């Protein structure tokens, strides 16, 4: 975590655990000019750096060090949000009004002081642009009390609000500069706001880095903010390169990259003593879905067809394909989060049951199209490899799967528009709380992408509404368990695997730590 120059008195901050040891490895990245440059290789999932529109894993890495948020996490901990731009939180007795006192010493990269006006503008801009991150503030009203105080009023009690406020998409922008660039925080901003191109060229945040160059296909270069209000980061420049996992392995071994974030455990096993490898359970979940909308597909919306897919997939084989450290995910919530299902709840392959369900569907031997992103890997796992395995497995049941890979930006368009017949995707947490996974229920974000509208399962929807306002962790865990069990019975989603998260880096780097919200805090690395 980036520590301010003057710590917030009310917060007890644990000492940062350093993942790397001293030694060789060539990780300094010193240039001839004396600038220190950190080279990071990752497989880009990136469309923009505009925080009000950004909602991909690579964008989270970038915006986390460019746009600061009211709350953050310390190091690897994702269970306790702590203040960053805020100093404290006061919650009303009815649980609806959250009052935040702001730091009075924060400045943006151009030296402009941050005030409550910037916070209100930034959050309202997210709400009114109605982009991918806007759901984080669904039902929230943002208001200024005075220059150092804001309130967020929720429509219903929301125990996850502090977790949501750590998301880089809710980073605070310089309101005057963004407005001048064509930005708007008013209703209608979804069509009126034209600041995205400007923000992809010149960032307007308060973080330790600013954007020097931005190319979603090639690389992003960050430059240290010389006037950063907090503790200065160690590196002058950070270069993030769009690199396939196989190449990342070569680059970190040779010293061409100091940090790589997309290797599988198998790929990292032979890196040698000049590279430090940290492995832990990732928070990513791979899943297949079948579109439940008959207007999209009369085949995939057939409940018996969905049953055939559910029991036709060979989950154990997919775990073996993913490699060491991976496991079958019994539900959509990863194993490290509150409410995760026990492994005994996982669906097991049953070919006979799958064939019987397909026969009951009356579809004969159907042909369907499986869409997925073609040129990215998550945790070193290639979507194409998983798709080919699912294709072969379902063929054994009597289902012909035609593979439809597409560049990630093209694939995301179909996925988000809900037009894919079948899809293979991964879900990383928007914030590390089980309420984030209610998006898989009918009428919610991912449910709608799978053609599962509100009213499709009143029992499940009622359970989701009830748990979203529950503050007791024991009751929450029980409710989320029941919700996932119901999803596994009737939902159009098929959770596959939870891979290992590997960070491989030069042995002289310190401060490298995995966090499920933004993968790694680049400003903590030295």
* Percentage of residues of the chain with pLDDT beyond 90: 80
Determine the pLDDT at residue 324: 81
Better-scored residue on pLDDT, 378 or 23: 378
pLDDT at residue 184 greater than cutoff 70: yes
- Which residues in 315-393 belong to E strands, given as ranges? 327-328, 367-373, 377-378, 381-382
**pLDDT tens profile 479-498:** 999 999 999 999 999 999 99
Rounded mean pLDDT, 162-170: 95
Determine the pLDDT at residue 30: 55
The three-state (H, E, C) secondary structure of 132-159, written as one string? HHHHHHCCEEEEEEECCEEEEEECCCCC
**pLDDT tens profile 194-216:** 999 999 999 999 999 999 999 99
Determine the pLDDT at residue 33: 53
Determine the pLDDT at residue 89: 92
pTM of the shown model: 0.76
- Which residues in 392-432 belong to E strands, given as ranges? 400-406, 422-427
Q: How many angstroms separate the CA atoms of 46 and 23, rounded? A: 33
Determine the pLDDT at residue 207: 98
Determine the pLDDT at residue 15: 27
Residue extents of the structural domains in the chain: 50-199, 285-498
pLDDT at residue 32 greater than cutoff 70: no
Rounded mean pLDDT, 169-184: 98
Determine the pLDDT at residue 336: 83
Rounded mean pLDDT, 293-305: 98
Rounded mean pLDDT, 357-369: 98
Query: Please, are residues 182 and 170 in contact by the beta-carbon 8 Å criterion?
Result: no
CA angle 20, 24, 29 (to 5 degrees): 85
pLDDT at residue 26 greater than cutoff 50: no
**pLDDT tens profile 394-424:** 999 999 999 999 998 899 999 999 999 999 9
Ordered DSSP codes for 69-87: -SEE--TT--SS-EESSEE
Determine the pLDDT at residue 5: 36
Determine the pLDDT at residue 17: 29
- Which residues in 302-380 belong to E strands, given as ranges? 327-328, 367-373, 377-378
Ordered DSSP codes for 106-123: -B-TTSPBP-HHHHHHHH
Nearest by Cα to 48 from 152, 119, 131:
131
Rounded mean pLDDT, 56-84: 93
| CATH class in words for 285-498 | alpha beta
pLDDT at residue 523 greater than cutoff 60: yes
* Domains 50-199 and 285-498 agree in fold: no
Residue 239 confidence class, pLDDT cut points 50, 70, 90: very high
Rounded mean pLDDT, 297-302: 98
Mean pLDDT over each residue of the chain, to the nearest integer: 91
Better-scored residue on pLDDT, 20 or 113: 113
Rounded mean pLDDT, 272-301: 94
**pLDDT tens profile 370-400:** 999 998 888 888 999 999 999 999 999 999 9
Name the CATH code of domain 50-199 (choices 3.90.76.10, 3.10.129.10, 1.10.260.30, 3.40.1000.10): 3.90.76.10
């Amino acid at each position: 975590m980036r520590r301010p120059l003057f710590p917030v008195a009310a917060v007890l901050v644990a000492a940062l655990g350093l993942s790397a040891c001293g030694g060789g490895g060539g990780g300094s990245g010193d240039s001839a000019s004396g600038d220190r440059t950190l080279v990071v290789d990752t497989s880009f999932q990136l469309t923009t750096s505009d925080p009000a529109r950004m909602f991909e894993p690579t964008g989270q890495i970038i915006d986390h060090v460019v746009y600061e948020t009211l709350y953050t996490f310390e190091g690897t901990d994702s269970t306790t949000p702590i203040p960053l731009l805020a100093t404290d939180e006061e919650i009303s007795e009815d649980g609806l009004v959250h009052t935040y006192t702001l730091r009075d010493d924060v400045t943006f990269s151009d030296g402009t002081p941050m005030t409550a006006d910037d916070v209100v503008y930034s959050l309202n801009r997210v709400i009114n642009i109605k982009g991918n991150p806007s759901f984080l503030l669904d039902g929230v009203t943002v208001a200024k009390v005075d220059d150092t105080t804001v309130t967020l009023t929720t429509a219903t009690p929301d125990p996850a609000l502090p977790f949501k406020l750590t998301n880089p998409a809710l980073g605070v922008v310089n309101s005057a500069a963004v407005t001048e660039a064509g930005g708007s925080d008013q209703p209608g901003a979804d069509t009126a706001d034209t600041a995205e191109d400007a923000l992809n060229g010149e960032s307007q945040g308060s973080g330790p880095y600013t954007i020097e160059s931005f190319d979603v296909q090639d690389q992003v270069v960050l430059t240290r903010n010389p006037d950063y209000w907090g503790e200065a980061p160690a590196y002058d420049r950070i270069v993030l390169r769009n690199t396939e996992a196989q190449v990342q392995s070569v680059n970190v071994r040779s010293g061409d990259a100091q940090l790589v974030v997309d290797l599988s455990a198998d790929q990292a096993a032979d890196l040698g003593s000049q590279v430090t490898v940290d492995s832990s359970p990732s928070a990513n979940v791979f899943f297949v879905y079948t579109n439940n909308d008959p207007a999209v597909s009369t085949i995939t919306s057939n409940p018996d067809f969905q049953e055939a897919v559910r029991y036709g997939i060979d989950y154990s084989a997919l775990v073996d394909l993913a490699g060491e450290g991976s496991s079958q995910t019994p539900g959509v919530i990863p194993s490290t989060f509150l409410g995760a299902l026990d492994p005994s709840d996982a669906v097991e392959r049953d070919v006979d049951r799958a064939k019987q369900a397909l026969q009951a569907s009356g579809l004969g031997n159907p042909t369907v199209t499986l869409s997925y992103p073609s040129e990215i890997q998550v945790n070193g796992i290639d979507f194409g490899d998983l798709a080919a395995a699912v294709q072969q497995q379902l063929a054994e049941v009597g289902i012909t799967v035609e593979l439809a890979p597409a560049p990630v930006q093209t694939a995301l368009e179909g996925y988000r528009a809900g037009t894919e017949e079948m899809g293979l995707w991964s879900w990383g947490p928007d914030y590390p709380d089980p309420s984030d996974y209610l998006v898989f229920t009918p009428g919610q974000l991912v449910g709608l992408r799978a053609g599962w509208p509100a009213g499709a399962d009143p029992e499940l929807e009622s359970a989701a509404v009830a748990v979203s306002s529950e503050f007791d962790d024991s009751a929450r865990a029980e409710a989320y368990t029941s919700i996932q069990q119901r999803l596994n019975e009737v939902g159009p989603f098929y959770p596959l695997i939870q891979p290992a998260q590997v960070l491989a880096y030069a042995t002289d780097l310190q401060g490298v730590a995995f966090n499920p919200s933004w993968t790694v805090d680049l400003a903590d690395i030295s």
